[in-house]
Amino acid sequence: GNTSRGSGTGRSRLLVEEPDVGLDPTTLGSRPEPKADHRSNIYLFIITRQEVMKWNGWGYNDSKFFFNKKGQVELTGKRYPLSGMILPTFKDWIQNTLGVSLEHKTTSKASLNPSDTPPSIVNEDFLHDLKETNISYSQEADDRVFRAHGHCLHEIFLLREGMFQRIPDIVLWPNFICIPVINLFSLFFPTACHDDVVKIVNLACKYNLCIIPIGGGTSVSYGLMCPADETRTIISLDTSQMNRILWVDENNLTAHVEAGITGQELERQLKESGYCTGHEPDSLEFSTVGGWVSTRASGMKKNIYGNIEDLVVHIKMVTPRGIIEKSCQGPRMSTGPDIHHFIMGSEGTLGVITEATIKIRPIPEYQKYGSVAFPNFEQGVACLREIAKQRCAPASIRLMDNQQFQFGHALKPQVSSIFTSFLDGLKKFYITKFKGFDPNQLAVATLLFEGDREKVLQHEKQVYDIAAKFGGLAAGEDNGQRGYLLTYVIAYIRDLGLEYYVLGESFETSAPWDRVVDLCRNVKERITRECKEKEICQTCVEALDHSRFPEKAAEEDHYITLLKSFFQLSLWL
């Protein structure tokens, strides 16, 4: 068990909450009392998070795409709007577009065999000192493998078909315990997880060990993979217990949080008080505040709320040379360089982010989705540029080329009535026959507006008026909403593809407006050329990490290439 430690912060505005365990509060329920299990000083609620997640794929164990008895694609579970729904046209799209044979299926490992994992190399003197701190730790194979990777295609492929050459030797969890404090409010005052991180870093320095911080494990930059030639003990420092909102300052509209809180849990707790951060990366369910800062993250609604560098007011980071943090809590300083920009994007290479103060806003009064169809991708790009020029971008706007449009259309769930089906057919007739759009050329932008109702409606009219000048047609709220809801299930489709020798990967980048169209064209041409040289059948897609192709794919020519989201342009101001 843990021992009580001195308080980490003492503020008159302290707001201590006992949040539910992260991820899905409806599934995991309230936080259980800490109880030791068979592992070394690990608490059951830590293991709960791990056990509801896939060990060799994306997301929750109870959510996956599969072919039902009728041969139709369906999403299991109850977590997402698409859960339990049938996608009647997706099978045909897979077979016709990719040439996939449903009889040709891979057989990945059903479970992790501990004997397949690299042995744990732990400095015994370090382990002795670690036990004196009462910090939770584990050397179990499944705990180590679970934290040995992010979610690049290459990493998931290795989990399914092989194993990493090197994984963390030991997993550590900074602890916390609440001490009752006798005062007018009968609060529980928490000791800081930050203190344990300091102890861990000091021990690592003492014995010359490596530390790889991990939050939600959604990295797509290979930042969690261990160097194969590293001979020192590698520590995976799991921040999942550092998941509290320490205080909310309603006067200054800021919240001070621990770095391990997930985006989903942060928004859920803030919503109870009528606030939000507005930061919504595609990995919102699982990624953490510390991960956002360390990867310099951007979210879907950055046009209104900003990127993470616009939201962060204060950062605390533990390094081998001490604790780095500003002495000033002000939102901006004009003297000297900003230490925050030194920390953001560092990917855990400089230290462990333990706490952050971020801006919050009242939950918007009104939210409205929308979509616009364009005759082609080029006109869509021109429209988005004009919207940026006039500084009137909605909270989120994404432009899909024709291939992504076709892909998204194939993911449309079964309609509920003949009337709905008739309306869909009428819309298609209007756009293709009456307006003359080529179904093989048209592109679609999805929109999301937020704010005061009156301002949203004015903003919406302004955007649609601009779109009309570039041949754009309003395509309805449902299409816009469905486009954003697909964001949270798209990685599950990648995992379905792997079962049928389909590789799915994505690139994200930013580019100046005058290079966007060239970039899209050149990337497709490069993919085509690389796949041809490697004798891999392919479909032109947004981006494919050809330098990371699994050798098995190239040697056996089993894999067809498919990207999970095709060409997608997000407006960047």
CATH topology of domain 366-488: Alpha-Beta Plaits (3.30.70)
The single residue listed with the structure tokens 């081998």 is 320
Both tokens assigned to 313: 């007011």
* Residue 499 assigned to a binding site: no
| β-strand partners of 242 | none
Mean pLDDT, the chain, as a whole number? 82
What is the rounded average pLDDT of the residues 467-478? Answer: 93
* Residue 117 assigned to a binding site: no
Q: What is the DSSP letter of 487?
A: G
* Residue 511 assigned to a binding site: no
Top-tier CATH class for 245-362: alpha beta
CA distance 133 to 241: 16
* Residue 263 assigned to a binding site: no
Q: How confident is the model at residue 506 (pLDDT cuts 50, 70, 90)?
A: confident
Asked if residue 424 has pLDDT above 70, the reply is: no
* Residue 282 assigned to a binding site: yes
CA distance 353 to 343: 9
The CB-side HSE value for 73 (13 A sphere, CA atoms) comes to: 21
* Residue 214 assigned to a binding site: yes
* Residue 213 assigned to a binding site: yes
Element (H, E) at 353: strand 352-359
CA distance 513 to 200: 46
Element (H, E) at 482: helix 477-485
547 vs 209: which has the higher pLDDT:
209
Domain boundaries, given as residue ranges, for the chain: 25-57+109-238, 245-362, 366-488
Highest mean pLDDT among 189-203, 349-363, 423-437: 349-363
The amino acid occupying position 274 is: G
Percent pLDDT > 90 in the chain is 60
Cβ partners under 8 Å of residue 265, min gap 6 = 19, 20, 22, 23, 25, 243
Backbone angles phi, psi at 50, to 5 degrees: -70, -35
Q: What is the pLDDT of residue 405?
A: 87
CA distance 469 to 1: 66
The string of pLDDT tens digits covering residues 117-174 is 999 999 999 999 999 998 999 999 999 999 999 999 999 999 998 899 999 999 999 9
* Residue 217 assigned to a binding site: yes
Both tokens assigned to 386: 């004009």
The string of pLDDT tens digits covering residues 288-325 is 999 999 999 999 999 999 999 999 999 999 999 999 99
Among the residue ranges 378-382, 454-458, 507-511, 558-562, the one predicted with the least confidence is 558-562
* Residue 115 assigned to a binding site: no
* Residue 347 assigned to a binding site: yes
Strand residue runs (E) in 438-477? 443-451, 473-474
Query: Is CATH 3.30.43.10 what the domain over 25-57+109-238 is classified as, yes or no?
Result: yes
Per the CB < 8 A criterion, the answer to whether 473 and 435 are in contact is yes
* Residue 284 assigned to a binding site: yes
Both tokens assigned to 520: 């899209």
Among the residue ranges 199-213, 259-273, 476-490, 540-554, the one predicted with the least confidence is 540-554
* Residue 147 assigned to a binding site: no
Among the residue ranges 39-43, 61-65, 477-481, 523-527, the one predicted with the least confidence is 39-43
* Residue 159 assigned to a binding site: no
